[in-house]
Structure 1
């Protein structure tokens, strides 16, 4: 009792381009479709930044503001997280290239 599993169809971004060869497929349509396949690289040079700039130009993951809360006649300082007026960091250029997570190679230390 086996299962019928279809093989995924599509172009693997790190393949050699041909079914068994190392050259790119020929033809105008195939060339347009596989142009990115032939020149794909397993390295990542940029990433989306995870930090934000605030109104003062400071860069951090989170920003908090200290507020004074009065309860039962007592004054307490409480931190309130700021969500407004934050600008995303944008694209960050990596100092050293990283290997793409979908690159089909096992890397191990022996």
Structure 2
């Protein structure tokens, strides 16, 4: 595997083809695998939802991170710092994508340079 590859490291069944991983021969590649994908009802090469990285706080605000300003007095000098809030945050959950994306483990080359 190349460094920086984004394929799944799990061996087993390809989610799109219905056959074993790495078991495809050269004669099955190309149009036949595309036709096999169209006939498969259990999986699609498109991703319609993703897990969000945003959180809700106690007030219902939505953001990646939350901070509160605290005032620290040291040697008679007042200094304000930002303290990151990690408690009482609720993840946003699953979000529907505006435009479907192609799955990372899609087994067909779409464009060859």
Alignment TM-score, normalising by the size of structure 2 = 0.67
Tell me if the contact between 1:17 and 1:38 (Cα under 8 Å) persists in the aligned partners.
no
Give structure 2 stretches of 5+ with no counterpart. 1-9
State the shift of 1:105 in Å: 3.0
Higher relative contact order (CA 8 A, sep 6+): 2
1:2-27 deviation digits (Å, cap 9, x = unpaired): xxxxxx96321111559757798xxx
Larger radius of gyration: 1
Q: Secondary structure at the match of 1:46?
A: strand
1:42 alignment counterpart: 45
1:13 to 3, 12, 15: 15
Q: 1:62 to 1:68 in 2, by over 3 A?
A: same
Give the aligned partner of residue 31 of structure 1.
none
Cα RMSD of the aligned pairs, angstroms, is 3.0
